[in-house]
Structure 1
Amino acid sequence: MKVLVTGGAGFVGSFLCEELHNSGHDIRIFDNFEPQVHSGAQGNLRNLLPNGIPLNGVELVFGDVRSPIQLGAALRDVDAVIHLAAQVGVGQSMYEVHRYVDHNTIGTAVLLELLASRKHNVRKLVVASSMSIYGEGGAHCASCGSVTPALRGATQMSVGDWEVRCPICGRTTTPVPTAESKPVLPTSIYAITKRDQEEMCLVVGRAYGIPSVALRFFNIYGPRQSLGNPYTGVAAIFSSRILNDRPPVVFEDGNQTRDFVHVKDVVQAISLALVKDEANGHVFNVGTGRPTSIKDVAILLSRKLRRNIAPQIEYKFREGDVRHCYADISKIKEHLGYAPTVELETGIDDLIDWAESQKADDRFEAAAAELAKRGLAR
C-alpha cells in the first residue's frame, strides 16, 4: 500500500515508517516538526533519509493537519492513513486549551472532511487514541463488585488519601485491568481531544465506508522520545532529570501505577491494525497488561543510568491525574494476534542507550512551576 502517516517524523511515527517501509509499503510522512516535540527531529528519520535523500518509496512533506490545502495534497493517491499527529501533554492542555483543541480535534476534522467530500483511494484509517480517555482505570470493590470511579477529589487528596474509592459505598477499591468496554471519563483537555479523534474517525469511517480503527495507547517509552519536552512520557522526563544529576520528581506517594509499553510493540499493534480486516470498526488497548508504579520506574532508571539519585516524592497532586490505569489486552490479542515482546526492564535499556547519546535539556521545573502557578499542582 501507499500509506500517509501524519506525525510520521515523531517518536512513534519514525519507528512506524521504518517498519512500513521495510514491509514493502510506500510511505508519505506528513509532519509540522513542532519544536516542543521535534528538537532535531529530522534525525529520527535518518534511516529513511540517508544524507537527507529519501529512500525509494519514501516521501517527506512538511505540513499542518489544520490546513485543508496541505493535507489535501498529502492525501493524493494514498491507500491508507495512519493519523498520529497531535499535541501531547495532559498538564499543558489545561491552560493551552485552544491549541490542543485546534490541532487535535480540528485537525482531525479537517482530515475527515477531506475524506468525506473528495474522491480518494483510502481504504483504511488508523487513529492514535490514548488510555487517558478512561480517566481512572478499572476498579473492583469488595462489596459492590466492578465499579467506574470518578476522579478523586481535591479534599480527599489534600490529606494524602491517594487510593480510589468506590463511588457506591466509599471503600478503597482494588485496581484491575482496564478493558475497552469501560466507560470513558476523560479528565483533561488532552484526553477530551483524544476521545474526539477516536470517535470522529470511527463515526465518519462507518458513514462513508472507510474501515477505521482506534488504538488506545498506554504509556509509551523508548528511544527518540523527546528529552526536552516536559510534557512527554514520564520515563523520558525522569531520564532527563537523572542525566542532569537531579532527582526525578514523583507526585503523590509514588505508588500510582501505569502500563509502560515499548515503542516497538506500539508499532507492532499499528502494523497489525493496518493490514487486518478483523480490526475494522474496533477500538483496541495497546499495552502490556502489567502495572508498574511511577516510583519504581524512577528507581529503575536511576539504577540503569548508574546514578545514586533517589526519587523526590512530593506528596502533592496534579489536577486530572489518575491513580491506576493498566491495560486489558485480551481483545487485541484475540482479534489481531498482538503480543507484547519487550519487558520494561529490557526496554528501558533502549531508552537509556539513546538518552545517553543526546543532550538532555531538563525543562521540568519550569513546567511544574507553571502548573503550580495556575493551581493545577498543589
Structure 2
Amino acid sequence: MSGLDGARIVVTGGAGFIGSHTVDALLGTHPAHVLVLDSLVNGSEENLSQWEGDSRLSLVVGDIRDRGLVDSVMAGADVVFHLACLGVRHSLHSPVANHEVNATGSLMVALAARDAGVSRLVHVSSSEVFGTARTVPMDENHPTWPETVYGAGKLAGEAYSRAMFRTFGTPVVVVRPFNTYGPRSHAEGDSGEIIPRTIVRMANGERPVLYGDGNQTRDFMHVSDTAAGLLALAECDEAIGRTVTIGTGVETTMREVCRLIADALGRPDLTPRMLPGRPGDVLRLCADGTTMARLTGFTPTVTLADGIADLVDWFAGRATEDMLIEDLNWERDEVAP
C-alpha cells in the first residue's frame, strides 16, 4: 500500500507545467483525491483537461499569497506538493511580484501545511538557488549563490519550509530539480525555456537564438522523470527534513541542444543566431543525484535526444506560429534582455 493511496493531496501550481504532470502521475497511479490550487497566471485548465469529469480532481483558482484561501484549501490535507511560482525571466522585470509569490507565497503554504498537520510537504525549489556551478556535479552541499531574484526567492521559500521542520516538526522534504522540459512546457513570454522556444522557432523556419557564446550548460530532465521523482520523495520517510537534488548528471551545452532539435526537425540549415549574453543567466549546471538514488532508488529514464523527439511530436499540429508571434513580440518588448 502506497503512502499516497487514499490520501487527500494538494498541488499548488498544479495547472502549470511540472504541476500538471505531477497531477497526472498521482491520478494515474494512486487512488487519491487531488485538489489543485493555481492562479492560472502561467498554468491553464487545458493542462488538466484529461481529468475533466473525474471526481478525484478539484481545481481552486486562487493565489498562494492569500493566507485565508490557502488555509481553507489545506484543511484536511494529507500531502502537499508545492510547485506554484513565477519564473526566472519574470524576476528581471518584476522582482517584487516575483519575490512575493516565490518567497512570501511559500511561507503562506508552509504555515498552512504546518497548521493542517499534513503528513508530508514536498517543497519544490530549483537548481537556480545554486547560481553558476563552482564544482560539478552539484550536490546538496554546493554553495547557494543565486544569480537572480527568482533564485533568491526560491532559496528563501525553501528555507521557510525547512524552518517548519526544524521548529515545529512539520514533515518537509525540499527538492531542487534541475532544468525540466517536456509536453506543456512554455514556449513563449517570460516563462519560455530554451528547448520549447527553439522547437517553435525552428518549426516555423526561424533560426534559434543563443545568448553569449552558447556554451552555457544545463542538466535537462524530462518532466515525466521529474514528476516520478517528486512522488518517490513524497513516499520516502528517510527524506523528511532533507534537501534533495534531482537531475540526470548529464551536462549539455545550449549549442548541443540546438543541434539535437535541428536533427529532430530535419533542419540542420537553421544554425543559431548569436546575441549578447543576458543578465542573470547561469553559466553551468549539472546535478549530482547520488542522494536521490540512495534514498529512493530513483534514476531518470528518458534521454535528452528521445525527450526532444517526443516534444517535437507534441508540438506538431499545435498553433506554433501563434506561439512564435507572441514570443517575438515579447522578446522585442522585454524590459531586461
Q: Which residue in 1 is equivalent to 2:231?
A: 271
Write out per-residue CA displacement over residues 3-56 of structure 1, whole angstroms, 9 at most, x where no aligned residue.
10001111111111121122222211111111xx23xx222112211xxx2x13
Q: Which residue in 2 is equivalent to 1:103?
A: 101
- Unaligned runs of 5+ residues in structure 2 are 1-6
Q: Is 2:301 the counterpart of 1:303?
A: no
Kindly indicate whether the alpha-carbon contact (under 8 Å) linking 1:295 and 1:311 is maintained by their aligned counterparts in 2.
no
Q: Which residue in 2 is equivalent to 1:4?
A: 10
Structure 2 CA distance for aligned equivalents of residues 43 and 112 of structure 1: 28
Structure 2 CA distance for aligned equivalents of residues 205 and 57 of structure 1: 29
Write out per-residue CA displacement over residues 99-138 of structure 1, whole angstroms, 9 at most, x where no aligned residue.
101111111122233345x4x2411101111111111114
Q: 1:353 aligns with which of 313, 324, 328?
A: 313
The sequence identity of aligned pairs, in percent, is 29
Judged with a 3 Å threshold, the aligned counterparts in structure 2 of structure 1 residues 127 and 357 are, in CA distance, closer, same or farther, namely: farther
Q: Which residue in 2 is equivalent to 1:46?
A: 49
Instruction: State the AA in 2 paired with 1:110.
Output: M
Q: CA deviation at 1:365?
A: 3.6
Structure 2 CA distance for aligned equivalents of residues 230 and 208 of structure 1: 37
Kindly indicate whether the alpha-carbon contact (under 8 Å) linking 2:259 and 2:268 is maintained by their aligned counterparts in 1.
no
Q: CA deviation at 1:230?
A: 4.3
Q: Secondary structure at the match of 2:50?
A: coil
Aligned counterparts, 1:1-40, within 5 A: 1-21=7-27, 22-34=29-41, 37-38=42-43
Kindly indicate whether the alpha-carbon contact (under 8 Å) linking 1:138 and 1:179 is maintained by their aligned counterparts in 2.
no
Q: Which residue in 1 is equivalent to 2:144?
A: 184
| Structure-2-length-normalised TM-score | 0.92
Q: CA deviation at 1:369?
A: 3.8
Q: Which residue in 1 is equivalent to 2:201?
A: 241
Q: Which residue in 2 is equivalent to 1:73?
A: 72
Judged with a 3 Å threshold, the aligned counterparts in structure 2 of structure 1 residues 336 and 196 are, in CA distance, closer, same or farther, namely: same
Instruction: State the AA in 2 paired with 1:101.
Output: H
- Unaligned runs of 5+ residues in structure 1 are 140-175
Q: Is 2:130 the counterpart of 1:131?
A: no
Structure 1 CA distance for aligned equivalents of residues 184 and 76 of structure 2: 30
Q: Which residue in 2 is equivalent to 1:322?
A: 282
Aligned counterparts, 1:193-342, within 5 A: 193-314=153-274, 316-342=276-302
Structure 1 CA distance for aligned equivalents of residues 249 and 40 of structure 2: 32
Structure 2 CA distance for aligned equivalents of residues 343 and 330 of structure 1: 18
More helix by share: 2
| Structure-1-length-normalised TM-score | 0.82
Aligned residues: 327
Q: CA deviation at 1:303?
A: 2.0
Q: CA deviation at 1:370?
A: 4.4
Structure 2 CA distance for aligned equivalents of residues 75 and 85 of structure 1: 14
Kindly indicate whether the alpha-carbon contact (under 8 Å) linking 1:5 and 1:30 is maintained by their aligned counterparts in 2.
yes
Structure 2 CA distance for aligned equivalents of residues 312 and 180 of structure 1: 34
**Following superposition, which runs of at least 4 residues in structure 1 exceed 3 angstroms of deviation?**
363-371
Q: Secondary structure at the match of 2:191?
A: coil
Structure 2 CA distance for aligned equivalents of residues 370 and 92 of structure 1: 13
Q: Which has the larger radius of gyration?
A: 1
Structure 1 CA distance for aligned equivalents of residues 276 and 151 of structure 2: 22
